[in-house]
């Protein structure tokens, strides 16, 4: 089943506009230079988020989990010139590599790249966000959700990645991490503070719109 999903994603990429040369470079170098290249979000999800955020006319975007910056650049490419994305990465090597790519981006002022544990940074951030992408350690999804929902504007959106956990969510509930993801999915689906939509895009993406 997952091979078919991979084939369908490959077909979708072939039948979409090509990503920019910088995004192609980030993807290529992520596979050459990192140990877990499969953490990259990739073309379909990156462009989906970028189009969505652009349609919302979001001015302030926050990403938890930069990795090599693929989603960051995808989004930044589509932001208005006065808008910006802040991205936080705990791993110094990933942060360093992402920053190399950000330096090549034509409008680097749109990207605020922070090295550190997002848990140490988000509480002191005195900002109201239009869009937040939670894409760090999946066990921490609920922590970020509770801390960041008050900092999201009404009508703003939180996106949470990997909510289907490679299909394990349907199969292996003995695994602690899968259980935590499943618990989070159930919680937000019935949370009156948000409208929730889980999309079976790639590894599963939930969109949570603050009421
Ligand atoms: C799935 S990857 C992110 C993928 C990325 N958004 C992209 O577009 O390719 C998850 C990243 O979150 C980072 N991370 C994990 N825990 C974190 C934390 N507490 N604070 C900041 N970053 C964290 C990991 O080091 C990893 O690089």
What atom in ligand 1 is closest to the CA of residue 136? Answer: 12
Residues 36-56: pLDDT tens digits?
999 999 999 999 999 999 999
Residue 120 has pLDDT above 70, yes or no: yes
Residues 173-187: pLDDT tens digits?
789 999 999 999 999
152 CB within 6 A, ligand 1: no
Q: For residue 2, what pLDDT band results from cuts at 50, 70 and 90? A: low
Would you state the pLDDT for residue 173? 72
Q: For residue 166, what pLDDT band results from cuts at 50, 70 and 90? A: confident
What atom in ligand 1 is closest to the CA of residue 162? Answer: 1
Residue 172 has pLDDT above 80, yes or no: no
What atom in ligand 1 is closest to the CA of residue 71? Answer: 8
Mutate to test the pocket of ligand 1, among 42, 53, 66 (most ligand atoms within 8 A of CB): 66
Residue 105 has pLDDT above 90, yes or no: yes
Distance 98 CA to ligand 1 centre (A): 11
* β strands within 16-170, DSSP E: 60-64, 84-89, 111-115, 129-134, 152-161
What atom in ligand 1 is closest to the CA of residue 119? Answer: 19
Residue 61 has pLDDT above 60, yes or no: yes
Would you state the pLDDT for residue 158? 98
As a whole number, mean pLDDT of residues 51-70 equals 97
Residue 130 has pLDDT above 80, yes or no: yes
As a CATH number, domain 2-210 is 3.40.50.150
Mutate to test the pocket of ligand 1, among 96, 99, 136 (most ligand atoms within 8 A of CB): 136
As a whole number, mean pLDDT of residues 116-134 equals 96
Would you state the pLDDT for residue 1? 53
Residue 3 has pLDDT above 80, yes or no: no
Tokens, residue 179: 């259980």
Q: Is the CB of residue 180 less than 8 Å from the CB of residue 186?
A: no
67 CB within 6 A, ligand 1: yes
Q: Atom 26, ligand 1: which residue's CA is nearest?
A: 67
Distance 139 CA to ligand 1 centre (A): 12
CB atoms within 10 A of CB 42: 18
Task: List, as own/partner pairs, every contact residues 17-22 make where C-beta atoms lie below 8 angstroms and the sequence separation is at least 24, other chains included.
Answer: 17/47, 19/43, 19/46, 19/47, 19/74, 20/73, 20/77, 22/73, 22/101, 22/104, 22/105
Distance 69 CA to ligand 1 centre (A): 10
The residues with which 89 forms a beta bridge, in sequence order, are: 115
Distance 39 CA to ligand 1 centre (A): 8
Would you state the pLDDT for residue 98? 98
As a whole number, mean pLDDT of residues 199-205 equals 94
Residues 6-29: pLDDT tens digits?
899 999 999 999 999 999 999 999
Least confident of 69-73, 194-198, 201-205: 201-205
């Amino acid at each position: 089943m997952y091979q078919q999903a991979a084939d369908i994603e490959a077909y979708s990429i072939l039948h979409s506009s090509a990503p920019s040369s910088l995004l192609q470079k980030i993807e290529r170098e992520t596979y050459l230079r990192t140990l877990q290249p499969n953490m990259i979000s990739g073309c379909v999800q990156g462009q989906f988020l970028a189009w969505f955020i652009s349609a919302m006319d979001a001015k302030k975007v926050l990403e938890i989990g930069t990795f090599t910056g693929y989603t960051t650049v995808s989004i930044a490419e589509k932001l208005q010139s006065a808008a910006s994305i802040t991205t936080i990465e705990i791993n110094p090597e990933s942060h360093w590599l992402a920053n190399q790519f950000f330096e090549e981006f034509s409008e680097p002022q749109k990207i605020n790249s922070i090295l550190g544990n997002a848990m140490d940074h988000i509480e002191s951030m005195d900002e109201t966000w239009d869009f937040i992408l939670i894409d760090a350690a999946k066990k921490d999804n609920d922590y970020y959700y509770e801390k960041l929902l008050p900092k999201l504007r009404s009508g703003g959106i939180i996106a949470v990645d990997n909510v289907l956990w490679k299909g394990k969510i349907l199969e292996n509930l003995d695994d602690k991490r899968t259980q935590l993801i499943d618990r989070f999915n159930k919680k937000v689906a019935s949370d009156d503070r948000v409208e929730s939509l889980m999309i079976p895009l790639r590894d599963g993406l939930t969109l949570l719109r603050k009421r």
